[in-house]
Amino acid sequence: MIIAPSLLASDYSRFGKEAERVAASGAEWLHLDIMDGQFVPNISFGPGVVGAVRPFAKQLFFDVHLMCGQPEILLEPFVKAGANQLTIHVELADKVPQLLWKIKALGLKVGLAVNPPTAITAAQPYLDMIDCLLVMTVNPGFGGQSFIHECLPKVQQAEAWRRERKLGYRIEVDGGINYETTAECARAGADTFVAGTSLFGAHSLKAAVSKMRKIAHAYDPAFADLKV
Ligand code: DX5
Ligand code: ZN
């Protein structure tokens, strides 16, 4: 089980310090939301900012979520910025296979994201090429939205395919993830939890990360005895 705090919900005036806080919280990943004002109706930050934050959180896995219409122009810049995984959206249709190969060729982990209105079957042709399947549980563009419960069957389907086809991709959920929805997603088969508002809004980020992890582990057969 991996907890990935999303920098989008942190204090924008001190990204370096916030990344340091995530590194000290016990989280394994830092989730970085890249929005281009075209694929989604919002703009966040780009490779320059990610590169500047990198030295503050050397041990964290940088999980870069590209909500961008033209990710092809950003892949190399994000490699240079220190990304470990690049996730592109399946809604980019014809562009998807080439983008996935390019990310792999650059030596990074490969992620594929599916928006709430998109059927999970859109990701099916790519399952053996990816390291992470990101099931969006809100419509991308903004933090602080409510979890869309209708997305849960997609997590179950992703888990069923992984089991049947003996594949190893992670199943990541993103949007409206709090303690309650962590439990629901973990029960459905998710193993990687992106959370912005709920974690950064907590009194102690460290305590919140550890509580979220415990809740997720409670649904992992390997940790069945753990009390939350
Ligand atoms: C939404 C982003 C999310 C966002 C989640 O467009 O992809 O990663 O940061 O934020 P919360 O946890 O606040 O829903
Ligand atoms: Zn995201």
Encode pLDDT of 176-204 as tens digits: 999 999 999 999 999 999 999 999 999 99
Domain assignment of residue 6, given as a range:
2-223
Q: Which atom of ligand 1 is nearest to the CA of 177?
A: 12
Residue 118's Cα: distance from chain center in Å?
A: 17
Task: Write the pLDDT tens digit of every residue in 120-144.
Answer: 999 999 999 999 999 999 999 999 9
Residue-level pLDDT at 219? 87
Confidence band for 221, pLDDT divided at 50, 70 and 90: low
**Residue 12 within a domain:** yes
Q: Cα(39) to centroid of ligand 1, in Å?
A: 15
* Rounded Cα–Cα distance for residues 2 and 160 (Å): 20
The set of residues, in sequence order, having a beta carbon less than 8 Å from that of 159 and lying 6+ positions away, is 171, 188, 189, 190
Residue-level pLDDT at 226? 57
Q: Which CATH number covers residue 132?
A: 3.20.20.70
**Residue 100 within a domain:** yes
Contact in structure between 220 and 32 (CB atoms under 8 Å): no
Could you please report the per-residue DSSP string of 40-93? SS-B---HHHHHHHGGGGTTSEEEEEEE-S-GGGTHHHHHHHT-SEEEEEGGGG
**Residue 145 within a domain:** yes
**Residue 228 within a domain:** no
**Residue 110 within a domain:** yes
Among left, alpha and beta (phi > 0; psi -120 to 50; other), residue 88 is beta
Contact in structure between 165 and 141 (CB atoms under 8 Å): no
- pLDDT of residue 222 exceeding 80: no
- pLDDT of residue 228 exceeding 60: no
Residue-level pLDDT at 225? 59
Instruction: List active site positions.
Output: 33, 174
31: β partners: 6, 63
* Rounded Cα–Cα distance for residues 56 and 33 (Å): 17
**Residue 57 within a domain:** yes
Residue identified by tokens 């030295």 is: 55
Regarding beta strands 85-89 and 192-195, do their DSSP bridges make them parallel or antiparallel, or are they unpaired? unpaired
- pLDDT of residue 88 exceeding 80: yes
* Rounded Cα–Cα distance for residues 103 and 124 (Å): 18
Question: Average pLDDT of 77-100?
Answer: 98
- pLDDT of residue 227 exceeding 80: no
The three state secondary structure string of 166-195 is CCCCEEEEECCCCHHHHHHHHHHCCCEEEE
Q: Which of 138, 141, 144, 145 is nearest to 201 (CA)?
A: 144
- pLDDT of residue 86 exceeding 70: yes
Residue-level pLDDT at 220? 78
Q: How many domains does the chain have?
A: 1
User: In percent, how much of the chain has pLDDT > 70?
Assistant: 96
- pLDDT of residue 164 exceeding 60: yes
Task: Indicate if ligand 1 lies below 6 Å from the C-beta of 18.
Answer: no
Task: Indicate if ligand 1 lies below 6 Å from the C-beta of 170.
Answer: no
Q: Which atom of ligand 1 is nearest to the CA of 195?
A: 12
Task: Indicate if ligand 1 lies below 6 Å from the C-beta of 177.
Answer: yes
pTM over 0.95, yes/no: yes
**Residue 131 within a domain:** yes
**Residue 176 within a domain:** yes
Task: Indicate if ligand 1 lies below 6 Å from the C-beta of 143.
Answer: yes
Question: Average pLDDT of 50-66?
Answer: 98
Average pLDDT over the chain reads 97
